């Protein structure tokens, strides 16, 4: 499973990425989880299964969905509560639910 988190500069999600990696490891799920800015998202489109968008840039959702659509990538905005709490396990669960 390849998950890409998108925020304005790719920085604010770095702590969340680490917590998501820990959750994946605890659940024995092989996952690659990375953060990027919207401007650099194109580099990840050929390898992503899920794109999660930071709530602070939810206005980019339709643009990102149109970019991801041809690749069959699932896209969602991260639940703002889970993002605010930096709850990596819940955000990881959100990504897994998208793939079901």
Catalytic residue among 4, 6, 7, 33: 7
- Domain holding 78: CATH number? 3.40.50.2300
Structure tokens at 85: 């709490």
d(CA 24, CA 30): 7
pLDDT of res. 11: 67
Q: State pLDDT tens for residues 38-71.
A: 999 999 999 999 999 999 999 999 999 999 999 9
Question: Does 2 have pLDDT greater than 70?
Answer: yes
Active site residue 7: yes
- DSSP-derived 3-state class of residue 7: strand
- 55 is in which domain, residue-wise? 2-99
Q: State pLDDT tens for residues 10-25.
A: 667 889 999 999 999 9
pLDDT of res. 14: 87
Q: How many domains does the chain divide into?
A: 1
Structure tokens at 38: 């919207």
Q: Compute φ and ψ for 68, nearest 5 degrees.
A: -80, -25
8 Å CB contact between 77 and 61: yes
């Amino acid at each position: 499973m390849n998950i890409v988190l998108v925020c304005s500069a790719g920085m604010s999600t770095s702590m969340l990425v680490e917590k998501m990696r820990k959750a994946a490891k605890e659940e024995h799920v092989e996952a690659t989880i990375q953060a990027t800015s919207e401007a650099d998202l194109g580099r990840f489109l050929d390898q992503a299964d899920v794109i999660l968008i930071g709530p602070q840039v939810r206005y980019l959702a339709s643009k990102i969905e149109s970019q991801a659509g041809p690749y069959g990538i699932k896209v969602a905005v991260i639940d703002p509560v889970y993002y605010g709490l930096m709850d990596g396990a819940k955000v990881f669960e959100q990504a897994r639910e998208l793939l079901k």
